[in-house]
Chains A and B, each alone.
Chain A
Amino acid sequence: MSVEAREARQPWILLAPALSAVTLLLFVPLVFIVVYSFWLRSATGADLPGFHLDNWREALTDRFYRDILISTLRIAAITTLVCALMGYPAAYFIARSRGNKMILLLLLMLPFWISYIIRTMSWINILGVSGALNTLLLGIGVISEPLNMLYNEATVILGLVHFLLPFMVLNVFVSLDGIDTNLEDAANSLGATRWQAFLQVTLPLSLPGLAAGGLLCFVLGAGTYITPLVLGGPRDAMFANLVFEAIITQLNWPLGSALSLMLLVVLGVLVMIYNRYLGMAQLMKGLG
């Protein structure tokens, strides 16, 4: 074999394990889901193979699905905004702290050691009628009756922020940490106040990290179903709950497949827009 041919094959050999994993674990299941979405569910719950557009017609034309999708995107957007507002100062503090950065990052990662479901359920013990917050407020006489704080959209957003905030902080931190602090000093020496230096130098340079964190929070938030299930009230379902119900409760895998593909396409378009304007490199840095 010639040297050129061997060199041409080498990248493919090196990529083979990753490509195989992606093909087997992502592409093949995705193909199954696409095929399933064209099948039908019989009255007994059995699947009827074939090529039918009924599920897609229903998913795309029924107002119910559109409304829940919009509501899901709205909740994900609010969650992302709250994460950005809370996560940026935290990331800034970590990036600018001296000496104890690793400890702070470790603290940030600590919640990941506890199951996401347990973290979500912990809010029941905090916000419940006989939870920590009501007990405290009753104890110090601020309220005379326990407040109903659980099982509404606000608690769903709170649970999502709790889950997603570390993703935002890490991405912004990576971005801020890569900015040369001399730039701020240079701005100060040229007459800018600290606030002006932050607004005109640091913030613009850290925007890719903020955008990467925002994308992650939005995509993960829009795809969750545990949080609304545990912390939501009767009307607080998100789109992933519809997929869950179609597949698990109604045993309608074909419709569930069409709905999950619909969510995948919406979120995929968002990722493509992000990639078009900001590139995926920043996201990879944050995840790394």
Chain B
Amino acid sequence: MTRKIDNTTRYERLRERYMNGGLERRQFLGLLGAAGAAYGLVTPYRALAQTVSQVRFDGWGGVVSEALRENAFDPFTAKTGIEVVDGTFGGADEYLSRIKASQPGEFNIAHLSGVFDYARYHNLGLSSELNEDNIPNLKFVIPKLTEVFRKVTNGTLSCVPYDYGTTGLAYNRAYISDAEMQEKGARILIDEAHKGKIGGWSDWRTRMWYAALQTDQDPNGITDEEAAWDAVRQHRDLALKYWNSGAELMSLLAEEEIHVTEGWSGRIFALQEQGHDIGYMDPPNGFGWQECMFVIKGSPMEACEELLNFMLAPETAIAVAEGQNYPPALDPQQIDLGAKIPTLPAFDPSGTLDGLTFADPAYWNGREADWSKTFGRVQKGY
């Protein structure tokens, strides 16, 4: 009977032969070198040759990850046997660095926010091409959400739209009334009266978007850039803290470290559900965004498509949406979304999303290099 031996045993036997004088040093080192080189060369391709047993997913963490884990990933694993390993990131920029430093196939699906991220990832050669026949549940998605992605990738898709939301104004009602919010709108973030109790996301896009609103400009066509940067500076001088994640946003508001900030609609709804008296308001031209499940080039496509189809199944997508508090990308004209989803912030019962202002990917990605760098300086007092 032949017995399979592992590499360690093989090395030990080789070493024993060498120590016993049965093998010359040069021969021994040569064999070791050849084994190492062979292992190094083969390792990156092993993933391609193996049956897919797991898919890597990366998202925003917190309640969003919990909702996905509980309502989508665990049931998917139970059904297919494919494990979903989920990681988290604080933003798409940070995640991009990780992908850049990784091997192809190491990261598979990312919960990207905004068409601008989709376009950026595509421009960096990270997009794949989904076989839509393997994702029949795509037919339930609001057509407008899919179309914008198709335009970027020449008619094909590297993602499926999954949910949408807004970055609106969140405020503690114990200190700021609804009437004050209505009166001041986005300008409340640069209001001296709340100095030291203002927060903000350390994201250059959000900062510039709100600066545009504070200076009465179109966020997708800022004409007076200097005025916008001045507004960013003004906000910086009044702010206590730039938050870096959804968890930090929720903690700062819940602990009353800050009284007002812009915030992600789902996270603020989660705070309200927890009993905190936090108000939420989308100012005119508030920051709307749609999130997608982006499949990164080099991923096991069929397994990813199977997961995406599972995630888009109405029962799964609705359960996830109710857990993460963002309306799903499912068309409310086709699917009954239940009782909770219509109460979520940013929900559009018409399914046209005409009431939301989205970031123009070409406009924002064209300024990404300059503005992210400038914000890095402005943030630090320059």
Contacts and interface: CB of A to CB of B under 8 A. Distances in A.
Contacts of B377: 64
A170 to B, nearest CB: 32
Interface stretch (B70-78, B235-243, B264-272): B235-243
A246 B369 CA distance: 11
A237 B369 contact: no
A130 B258 CA distance: 11
A111 interface: no
Given A128-B257, A247-B97, A248-B94, A68 B241 contact: no
B339 to A, nearest CB: 34
B376 interface: yes
Contacts of B366: 43
A46 to B, nearest CB: 6
19 contacts: A43-B369, A44-B123, A45-B123, A45-B124, A46-B124, A64-B382, A68-B380, A124-B251, A130-B256, A131-B255, A151-B241, A229-B244, A233-B239, A235-B380, A249-B91, A250-B373, A251-B97, A252-B373, A253-B97
Contacts of A233: 239-241
Contacts, number: 78
Interface in B305-335: none
B257 A250 contact: no
B242 A234 contact: yes
Interface string A179-199: 000000000000000000000
A139 to B, nearest CB: 17
A129 B97 contact: no
A128 B255 contact: yes
A247 B97 CA distance: 7
B379 interface: yes
Nearest to A235: B381
Contacts of B239: 233-234
B96 A251 contact: yes
Interface in A201-257: 229, 233-235, 237, 242, 245-253
A260 to B, nearest CB: 14
A150 B380 CA distance: 17
Contacts of A247: 97
B124 A148 contact: no
A119 interface: no
Interface in B347-382: 365-366, 368-369, 372-373, 376-377, 379-382
A250 B244 contact: no
A237 B93 contact: no
Interface string B257-300: 10000000000000000000000000000000000000000000
A245 B120 CA distance: 18
B104 interface: no
Chain B interface size range? 20 to 34
Contacts of A250: 93, 369, 372-373, 376
B46 interface: no
Contacts of A68: 380
The binding surface of chain B is classed by DSSP as helix
A162 interface: no
Contact of B257 (A41, A43, A44, A150): A150
A242 B123 CA distance: 25
Contacts of B124: 44-46
Ranked nearest first, the 10 interchain pairs of A and B with the lowest CB-CB distance are: A235-B381, A44-B123, A151-B241, A249-B93, A248-B94, A234-B236, A248-B97, A237-B380, A250-B372, A245-B376
- Interface hub of A44, A234, A237 (most chain B Cβ within 10 A): A234
A49 to B, nearest CB: 14
Nearest to A43: B369
A249 B277 CA distance: 33
Contacts of A253: 97, 100
B196 interface: yes
A115 to B, nearest CB: 16
B93 A251 contact: yes
Contacts of B196: 148
Given A64-B380, A131-B255, A150-B240, 8 more contacts: A43-B366, A45-B369, A130-B255, A150-B241, A233-B240, A234-B236, A234-B241, A242-B376
Contacts of B244: 229
B247 to A, nearest CB: 11
B379 A234 contact: yes
Contacts of A131: 255
Contacts of A64: 377, 380, 382
B150 to A, nearest CB: 20
Contacts of A234: 236, 239, 241-242, 379-381
B292 to A, nearest CB: 19
Contacts of A246: 376
Nearest to B236: A234
Contacts of B242: 234
Contacts of B241: 150-151, 233-234
Given A148-B240, A248-B94, A44 B376 contact: no
Contacts of A248: 93-94, 97
Contact of A251 (B100, B125, B380): B100
A149 B97 CA distance: 34
B240 A45 contact: no
Interface in B107-126: 120, 123-125
- Interface hub of B100, B196, B257 (most chain A Cβ within 10 A): B257
A41 B372 CA distance: 13
Contacts of A249: 91, 93-94, 204, 372, 376
